[in-house]
Amino acid sequence: MPASAAKLRLAETVKEADLVIDGVTMRFETREGAITAVDDMSFSVERGEFVSIIGPSGCGKSTVFNILGGLVRGYEGKVSVGGDVISGPHPSIGMVFQEESTFPWRTVLDNVAFPLEVKGVRKAERHEAARHFIDMVGLNGFEQRYPAELSGGMRQRVAIARTLVFEPKILLMDEPFAALDEQTRLLLGDKVLKIQETLKQTTLLITHNITEAVQLSDRVIIMTFRPGKVKRIVDIRLPRPRTGDVVGSEAFGRHVAEIWNDLREEASRGMAESEAGARRRKG
Ligand SMILES: Nc1ncnc2c1ncn2[C@@H]1O[C@H](COP(=O)(O)OP(=O)(O)OP(=O)(O)O)[C@@H](O)[C@H]1O
Ligand SMILES: [Mg+2]
C-alpha cells in the first residue's frame, strides 16, 4: 500500500466516531401527559475525544446518558457505539452514575475489584488491578475503609475507579461531581484530566457546571430546556495537557462567558416553567 494510502487510512481511523447519536427523540408518559424529554438530538464523539453535555435541570441529559448506555428503549433514531448500532448495553462502555453507587458493605478495595470479580478474575489479580486504579484516583491508604467512612468526593472517586477497572474504551459520566464543593470539584477535575491523558478513553461527561465543562472538554454541547435539543456546540480552544491552573486564564473566562450566555436563556425558561408548575399544583 502506498504511504499516502496508509496515511489516509490512519486519518480515517483517528477520525472514527466512537459514539453517534442520530436523530434521537424520547417521549415519556407521565401523570400530567406525554412529555418529550429529548427531541431530535444528533451529535458524535470522536475516538479519544472529551465531550461534555451541559444544560439546565430536567432538560434530558440523564435520558441521553441512559440511552447511550443502552438502558432505555422506545426511543426514535439510532445510536452507535464503537461502530455498532446498539439495542442494549455495549461492552466497551463504562458508566458512572449521578446517584451514589458504591456498595456500603464492601471495602474500597472490594468495591473497585467488583467488576473483575463478576468476570471471574482471581483474587490476587483483581486486587492488584483495583489497587492500581485506587492509586490513580488518589485513594491509596483507604483500601480497607468502607464507603460510610469516606467523604462524598472520595466515594465518587471509588465509583470512578470501579468503572475504570475493567478498562472501558468509552467512559460515560453523569454529573459525577454534582454533590461536591467547588474546590473538591476542581481538584477531581485535575485527576480526571490526568486519567484521560493516560488511558485516552473516549469520554462523555454530563454536567451542569460550566467551569467543569470548560476545564475538561474538547467540545461542549449546550442543550436547550425541554424538549432537549442541541442548542450549540462550542469548541474549547485551550491547550493540552491541562491542569487546574487553566481556570485562571483569560481564554478560559471567555469560554465560560460564552457558554453562560447561551445557557442563561435555557436556565431561565426552566425556572419559569417549574415556578408555573408549582403555582398550578397549589391553585
Ligand atoms: N422514566 C421516566 N418517566 C417519566 N418521565 C421521565 C423519566 N425519566 C425522565 N423523565 C422526565 O424527562 C425529563 C428529562 O429528565 P432527565 O432526568 O433526563 O433530566 P436531566 O437533564 O438529567 O436533569 P438533572 O440535571 O436534574 O439531572 C424530565 O422532565 C423528567 O421528569
Ligand atoms: Mg440528570
pLDDT in tens, 18-63: 999 999 999 999 898 999 999 999 999 999 999 999 998 889 999 9
Strand partners, 24: 41
Distance of alpha carbon 233 from alpha carbon 55, whole angstroms = 12
Using an 8 Å Cβ cutoff, are 21 and 66 in contact? Answer: no
Residue where the block lists cell 462550542: 234
Residue with the smallest CA separation from ligand 1 atom 29 is 58
Number of residues in the chain: 283
Q: Choose one of 28, 30, 31 to mutate for the ligand 1 pocket test, by most ligand atoms within 8 angstroms of C-beta.
A: 28
Domains in the chain, CATH or no CATH each = 16-92+170-238 (3.40.50.300), 100-167 (no CATH)
Å from CA of 63 to ligand 1 middle: 6
Distance of alpha carbon 195 from alpha carbon 193, whole angstroms = 6
Give CA torsion, residues 73, 77, 79, 84, to 10 deg: 100
- CA nearest to 65, candidates 34, 169, 55: 55
| Helix, strand, coil abundance in the chain, percent, nearest 5 | 45, 25, 30
Judged by phi (left if over 0) then psi (alpha if -120 to 50, else beta), residue 122 lies in beta
Distance of alpha carbon 137 from alpha carbon 140, whole angstroms = 8
pLDDT tens for residues 130-171? 999 999 888 999 999 999 999 988 998 999 999 999 889 999
Q: Which amino acid is at 1?
A: M
Distance of alpha carbon 166 from alpha carbon 148, whole angstroms = 24
Å from CA of 127 to ligand 2 middle: 32
| Set of cell numbers at residue 12 | 480515517
| Set of cell numbers at residue 282 | 397549589
pLDDT surpassing 50 at residue 10: no
Distance of alpha carbon 119 from alpha carbon 219, whole angstroms = 34
269 or 155: whose pLDDT is higher?
155
Run of H or E residues at 13: helix 3-15
pLDDT tens for residues 79-100? 999 999 999 999 999 999 888 7
The pTM for the full model equals 0.89
Atom of ligand 1 nearest to the CA of 206: 22
Tell me 228's DSSP state. Answer: B
Q: Is 66 in the pocket of ligand 1 (CB under 6 A)?
A: no
